[in-house]
Amino acid sequence: QVQLVESGGGLVQPGGSLRLSCAATGFDFSLYEMKWYRQRPGKERELVARIKSGGGIRAYVPSVKGRFTIDRDDAKKTVSLQMDRLNTEDTAVYYCNANRYQERIGDVDYWGKGPLVTVSS
80-91 residue pLDDT tens = 999 999 999 999
Q: Residue 53 is which amino acid?
A: S
Indicate whether 56 pLDDT > 90.
no
pLDDT class for 54, splitting at 50, 70, 90? confident
Q: State the DSSP string of 8-60.
A: --EEE-TT--EEEEEEEESS-GGGSEEEEEEE-TTS--EEEEEE-TTS--EEE
8-19 residue pLDDT tens = 999 999 999 999
61-113 residue pLDDT tens = 999 999 999 999 999 999 999 999 999 999 999 999 999 998 999 999 999 99
Distance between CA 71 and CA 49 in Å, rounded? 10
